[in-house]
Chains A and B, each alone.
Chain A
C-alpha cells in the first residue's frame, strides 16, 4: 500500500461547482498534513495545513479523519483559476514529508 494515495482524476467541473478530494495515508502515527497546489510546469505551493479540528480558508475547507486515516479538501464555488493539481502531503515519521501523486482539477466555463 502506498504511503499516501490520491485519485489522479481528472475532475472536470463547471464554474461555481463544489468539488471534494480525498486522500488516504497509511501511517497511523502521522501528525502533520497539508494540501499543496501545483500549476502546470510550476513548483508546488502550500494551499493549507490540515488541523485535527478541520480548517477553512475562504472557499477551501480541509478535514482530517484520523480513525479512517484520510484527509479531504472541499472547494466551493469553483473558479477557472482553481484548475491545478492538488497534492496531499503527510509526514510519515521520517525527517521529511511524503507527497501524493496529486489529483488534477479542471474547472470549465
Chain B
C-alpha cells in the first residue's frame, strides 16, 4: 500500500531563516506530487505541483520554491522566511494524468515563523 511521509512534523523558525520541508511517497511509481498551505482557519492553497522529476509548476507567486530530485521525493524550500509563511504545509500525491484524480495527503508540517 502507498504511504506518504512528511518531516518535520512541527517547526519554529525565525524570520529570515531558510526552510526545507521534505515529502516522500512509498508504494507507487511516478506519482503526481503537490504542496499545499493552509493558514489558520482557512482553506487549502495549492502552492506547487509536479508531474515528474524536475517538473515543477507554481500556482502562486511567493518566496517559496519546490524541487523534485527523485521520483518520490518533493521538497519545499525558502531562502528567507517571512512571518506570512506560517501555516500548515501539506504534501499530497495522486496517480494518473494529473487532471482531477483523487489526492492523498501526508500528515503535514506545522510551521511557525517568529
Contact = CB atoms under 8 A, between A and B. Distances in A.
Interface of A: 30-32, 34, 41-46, 49, 87, 91, 95-102
A87 B44 CA distance: 9
A96 B46 contact: yes
Interface in B34-50: 34, 36, 42-44, 46, 49
A32 B49 CA distance: 18
Top 10 A-B residue pairs of the complex, sorted by shortest distance between their CB atoms: A91-B100, A32-B100, A101-B43, A43-B105, A99-B44, A95-B98, A43-B108, A96-B46, A96-B49, A44-B105
Contacts of A87: 43-44
A95 B49 contact: yes
B102 A43 contact: no
Given A43-B108, A91-B99, A101-B43, 16 more contacts: A30-B100, A34-B102, A41-B88, A42-B107, A44-B44, A44-B105, A46-B102, A49-B102, A87-B44, A95-B49, A95-B98, A96-B59, A97-B46, A99-B36, A99-B44, A101-B42
User: Which of B57, B99, B104: most chain A Cβ within 10 A?
Assistant: B99
Interface of B: 32, 34, 36, 42-44, 46, 49, 51, 57, 59, 88, 90, 98-108, 110
